[in-house]
Each structure stands twice: as C-alpha cells, then as structure tokens.
Amino acid sequence: MNGIASPAVLTPASYKSAYKPIWCPGCGDFSVLSSVTKALAKVGVPPQDVVVVSGIGCSSRIPAYTSCYGFHGVHGRALAAGTGLKVARPELTVLVAGGDGDGYSIGGNHFLHACRRNVDLTYIVMDNHVYGMTKGQASPTTEPDWDNKLSPGGTGIRSFHPLVIALASGANFVARAFAGDPNGTAEIIAAGIRHPGFSFIEVLSPCVTFRPEQRLWKQHAHPAPVGPTDDPARAARRIMTDDGFNIGILYAGDRTPYPTHPGNAKRTPADLETEFEL
Amino acid sequence: MSPAVKKRGRAATPAAGKAPRAASATKPRPVPGRKAGANEPARHAPRTLTEFMAQAWAMEIEAAQRYTDFADAMETHNNLEVAAMFRTMAQYEAKHAEQILAEMGWSEPPVVQRGDLRWPGFEAPETAPIDEVHYLMQPWHALQLALAAEKAAERFFRELARVAPSESVRHAAKELQAEEREHVLLVKAWMKKVPKPDPDWANDPDPARYTD
C-alpha cells in the first residue's frame, strides 16, 4: 500500500497512487486504470481492503498506480497468487489484472483452473492482441494473419477465445469491456467485484504503439444487444457467434464460489505449523 | 484532424494495416460506439435544470480528468511543452465545473448516476479520446484535440437546446452552447500562435517499435 489513508468519502482519486503510469500516451490501459478506480469507489471498499495482483507486462504495472495493496508478481502467475491470497484472506477484495500474453499464454493453465475453482475474485485482462512490453510479438489472441516482421505472413495459428474458454471452464461472471468506454468499463468491473465467485472481464485495450490499427476498435465496439444470461449454453452461443465487439456482461451465473474461511485471517503461523505437523 | 490520424513516420505506420480480428467480418456501424438509446435525444434529454447542470458538471469533470491524464503521460515522456498545455486545459475545464457549482449554489458536487448520463458516444462530448495522443505530439496537436472537443460540446448543447422538454433546460443549454462557441473561437485564436508541425514530426530516431 502506498501510504494513503482511507478518506471519509471514497472517490476514484482515493484509489490512485502518486506514481504516474509510464504507458505510452494513447494506451488503453490508462482508461482501464481510471475504470478500476471508479469501480472501487462505486463499490465503496476502502483501499486498504483491496489488493491488486498482477503478473508481467505493460498492463501488469497497474498495482503500482493504485493506492491499494499490490503484488506485482511472476509472469503468468497472477491468478495463482491472487487465489492464494483470497483463500487466506477472504475478507479482502482481490483484483487480478494483466494482459493477454501473461494471462492466456504464460498463465494459460492458471486461467483455466482459476475459472474452474471459482474463487471469489475479479480477473481483469487488458487484451491488446500483442506482447507490447517485449516489442510486438504475436500473443495468443493475435489474429492468425497479423503480418509483421517478427511473424511474416502471420502466425497462421487460430486465436485463443478467452471468453468462451472462461465460460467453459466455469467462470461465474463473464464480460467484455472496451477501454474507449471507461465509465461503462467501471460499471462492469463494479458488477464483477460484487458478483460472487470468479469474475472474468476481458477489456479490449488498444496498443497504439504496436497495433495502431486498433484505434479502429472504437468504431466497432457497441453495447451487447441483449442483457446477461445465466444460461451457459446460451451465453456460449452468443459469445461464439458475436462480432467480437459486443460490450457488456455476457454471462452471470450462480455457481457456489470456492469456500473460503473467514477465520483464516486470524490464524497465526503457529496454527499452520500445527495443521501440517506430521 | 487528430494527431492519431495525422501522425506520420515510423510510429504512424500501422503495424500491418489489418483490421482487428473480428472487424473484418463486420462493417462499422453507421453511428459507431453509440449507446443504445442515444439516438433519441429528446427522450433522454434532462428534464430539469438540476439534472441538466449535473450532467454539464460531469462533462467538465471528465474532460478535466482526461487532460490531467494526458498531462501526466506527456510529463512522463518528457514532452513538457505539451504536458503544460494539457495541464492548462485541465485547469480550464475544472474551473468551468466550479462555475457550474457556483451558479447552482451547490456546496458539494452533485451525485451523478451513470444511468443519468446520455452522451452521443461512449464518452462525454468534451472528453478528448484516450487514444488520440502521441508521445511526440506538438502544441498544435493538443490544440487540435481541444478544438474537436469544444466543437463536440457545442454540438451537444445545441442539440439539447433543440430537444429539451423544459424551457429552463433549453435556456441553460443555449447559454452553455454559447460558452462552448466562445471556447472554440479561443482555441482557434490560440492555434494561430503556435507553429504547425513539420511533416516528419512523428519521426523518432530511436523508436519504441523495431518491427517495421
């Protein structure tokens, strides 16, 4: 935590740290940061009760830019750290954040199992279809025909479809947001935080440096024509057949979250030693 | 035209000139990014002066916040001249928000629910789009962004003045439209004082990208 006390009235500014983001000007992640702070203010949970956990990548810098507790962890392992934290300290609000490379490639297996476990946390992926920090390699969500010098003619590999994979793996809340709609994204993040279980929010967040053509996303993004469903089969059909730019909560299920024990917070290392005594 | 559109050189060249993944399968909609219902301004126009001024206040605050974010980003990238310009713009917008509070006699900012806000796009008309800045942009570009934002705000209030259901809202919308028109003229005058950028303004001898 960056030493900011909780003010009487929580505003988005209450969740911002004094550190200025070093993202490229124009990056969609600025907008996502703004949405996260707005969402937390809306939910009203004080900064000292929130932990933002991330992996590695441009977007994974986000914990430092908030006044909440933060853990900038190992590449692809943000969900593992976030899951452990939530299970040990269920009274905390845990947000896990990162990019498409971190979450779907290096951390792909953690993603599947985090959805399956359905621990009550919110996973925000800032998806720009590219590895930005390492200067523009194709990521799991990159289009197969994205032609550049690092993958001439494109990778030819089918793109990962995170929303339907999250749904099939058991995520209890699945949504797509767009960085060009920061207020709408804030609403979705707030809903994800409030929804019990594992909430997965994919934010289309343009990379203006390596994928400048993604500025066109604002011409394509549009609110989902129908509201969320609690029927996974219907949600899957919608997600598989939409144009990739439907913005909104696409699925809100009622699976019971992985049980955590509120008493965990009061346990001491000695209690743990007793538990693991052979 | 925004710097995003204008910029040239390495950083201005789309990486592959491809549309995003699903975009190739769908044509852009006639009114991109528009919220459901926003095509019906009369139906969603603020009904009372209080509602309208709360909306106008929110619009100014969002614009101020965006310019502040831009100023921070430009400072981080050592583009101090443009950073100072965005900082000034943020101060202007914040001042406009304060003026609204004073005019309404509000001692505290109004509580504005998201559902109460109806913009013609995803964001408030006076908010410059997040992606239309560049680390090498020049003061002229910043003013261009501001000009587009002020023009959008003027159009927004003009439309509200046309469709608002109550006389008090129509009157206030006309006043704010006139103010925005004044801002447009001020920005235009300011633009005359700054040099137009060179054609190669976005050329960077040590660019972030090496894949071109």
pLDDT tens figures, B149-208: 999 999 999 999 999 889 999 999 999 999 999 999 999 999 999 999 999 999 988 876
Read off the pLDDT band of B9 (50, 70, 90). Answer: very low
Predicted local confidence at residue B209, as pLDDT:
61
Question: Which residues in chain A are closer than 8 Å to B65, comparing Cβ atoms?
Answer: 34
pLDDT for residue B110 is more than 90:
no
Name the residue of chain A whose CA is nearest to B17's CA. A213
Partner-chain residue, chosen from B4, B33, B34, that has the shortest CB–CB distance to A26: B4
Alpha carbon of B142 to those of A45, B58, B131: distances in Å?
36, 22, 13
pLDDT for residue B7 is more than 70:
no
Read off the pLDDT band of B40 (50, 70, 90). Answer: low
Structural contact between residues A178 and A185, judged by C-beta atoms closer than 8 angstroms: yes
Positions of chain A with pLDDT under 50: 1-7
Predicted local confidence at residue B30, as pLDDT:
34
Contact B209 A211 (CB under 8 A): no
Closest CA to A182 of A198, A163, A201, A203: A203
Contact A183 B36 (CB under 8 A): no
Chain B residues 105-164 with a CB less than 8 Å from chain A? 114, 117, 122-123, 129-135, 137
User: If you count residue pairs, one on A and one on B, with CB atoms under 8 Å apart, how many are there?
Assistant: 156
Mean pLDDT of B82-100: 96
Name the residue of chain B whose CA is nearest to A29's CA. B130
Contact A183 B131 (CB under 8 A): no
Is the Cβ of A37 closer than 8 Å to some Cβ of chain B? no
Domain map of chain B by residue range? 45-191
Point out the least confidently predicted range of A1-5, A87-91, B43-47, B59-63.
A1-5
Question: Which residues in chain A are closer than 8 Å to B202, comparing Cβ atoms?
Answer: none
Predicted local confidence at residue B1, as pLDDT:
36
pTM of the model: 0.87
Rg value, chain A, Cα:
18
Partner-chain residue, chosen from B12, B33, B129, that has the shortest CB–CB distance to A221: B33
* Two structure tokens written together for B125: 């008309």
* Two structure tokens written together for B106: 């509000």
pLDDT for residue B39 is more than 60:
no
Domain A24-275: top CATH class: alpha beta
Cα of first residue to Cα of last residue in chain A, in angstroms, is 37
Distance CA A65, CA A2 (A): 9
Question: Which residues in chain A are closer than 8 Å to B26, comparing Cβ atoms?
Answer: 220, 243, 245
Predicted local confidence at residue A266, as pLDDT:
74
Predicted local confidence at residue B208, as pLDDT:
67
Predicted local confidence at residue B46, as pLDDT:
84
Predicted local confidence at residue A119, as pLDDT:
97
Mean pLDDT of B77-95: 97
Structural contact between residues A95 and A268, judged by C-beta atoms closer than 8 angstroms: no
Distance CA B156, CA B175 (A): 12
Alpha carbon of B149 to those of A130, A236, B64: distances in Å?
30, 39, 12
Distance CA A54, CA A77 (A): 8
Question: Which residues in chain B are closer than 8 Å to A25, comparing Cβ atoms?
Answer: 70, 73-74, 77, 79, 133-135, 137
- For residue B58, the tally of other CB atoms under 10 A from its CB is 22
Q: What DSSP line would sit under B159-174, residue for residue? A: HHHHH-SSHHHHHHHH
State the average pLDDT for chain B: 80
- Complex-level ipTM: 0.88
Name the residue of chain A whose CA is nearest to B71's CA. A25
Domain map of chain A by residue range? 24-275
Sequence-separated (6 or more) residues with CB below 8 Å from residue B141 = B2, B3, B6, B82, B133, B134, B197
Give the CATH superfamily of B45-191.
Ferritin, core subunit, four-helix bundle (1.20.1260.10)
Give the tens place of pLDDT for each residue, B114-137: 666 778 889 999 999 999 999 999
Contact B209 A210 (CB under 8 A): yes
Distance CA A217, CA A204 (A): 8
Closest CA to A175 of A204, A202, A206: A202
Give the tens place of pLDDT for each residue, A186-229: 999 999 999 999 999 999 999 999 999 999 999 999 999 999 99
Between strands A93-99 and A122-127, the pairing is parallel
Predicted local confidence at residue B35, as pLDDT:
44
